[in-house]
Chains A and B, each alone.
Chain A
Amino acid sequence: GQSLEQPSEVTAVEGAIVQINCTYQTSGFYGLSWYQQHDGGAPTFLSYNALDGLEETGRFSSFLSRSDSYGYLLLQELQMKDSASYFCAVRDRDGANNLFFGTGTRLTVIP
């Protein structure tokens, strides 16, 4: 089965940089996705890494190392509105199309 580990909580200061880690154990690997979810809101797709390296999208970047079964989401120039939960996700299993989500990291941005 699939297993994803993320820190449960992270706190960072407005304007700073924060890194949210995700380690995975999967039967087959098809890439790592990241989703953001504000309290009471819908999960929103942020990024996807299929290959090793860094993908940058504005203030957000995502990194993958397949040899280490590890990825992270990097948020720069933190804003108060970035306070949310962040989930890493992988394909559920070989042949499946649904996502398997980690338990999420709750990011709190403080002034």
Chain B
Amino acid sequence: NAGVMQNPRHLVRRRGQEARLRCSPMKGHSHVYWYRQLPEEGLKFMVYLQKENIIDESGMPKERFSAEFPKEGPSILRIQQVVRGDSAAYFCASSPRQGRSSYEQYFGPGTRLTVT
């Protein structure tokens, strides 16, 4: 039973390029969350999605960031025109149903984005 998969594990981009981060939730999980973690800090919520729907994007910066979870395929977090401040670890988490999401989430290994 595979866990949450994320790729790539490490991503290096130059300022102004686009970054695409992928997440496949655990089998049977239809709720996907994206979090960002800066060094020595806790995780900050960005966006919550279900298949083909963005449920809550209150933590997502208004510009340059977008997320999707299509009917087929992984969830994608896209960052356009990256800046150095976007350098962070981006974690995806999934949950089997809404009720348990509020306390128990399963995290992927993260994508460490470095902007040079």
Give A contacts to B, CB under 8 Å: 30-31, 33, 41-45, 48, 50, 87, 89, 91-92, 96-104
- What does DSSP make chain A's interface, helix, strand, loop or mixed? loop
Residues in B with CB closer than 8 Å to A103 are 41-42
Residues in A with CB closer than 8 Å to B108 are 42
Chain B: how many interface residues by the 8 Å CB criterion? 27
**CB of B104 within 8 Å of the partner chain:** yes
Measured in the bound complex, the distance between the Cα atoms of B108 and A45 in whole Å is: 12
Q: Closest A-chain residue to B102, C-beta based?
A: A91
In the complex, how many angstroms separate the beta carbon of A59 from the nearest chain B beta carbon?
19
Q: Closest B-chain residue to A95, C-beta based?
A: B56
When A33-B104, A42-B108, A97-B102 are in contact, do A102 and B42 touch as well, CB less than 8 Å?
Answer: yes
When A97-B98, A98-B33, A98-B101 are in contact, do A45 and B106 touch as well, CB less than 8 Å?
Answer: yes
When A101-B42, A103-B42 are in contact, do A96 and B56 touch as well, CB less than 8 Å?
Answer: yes
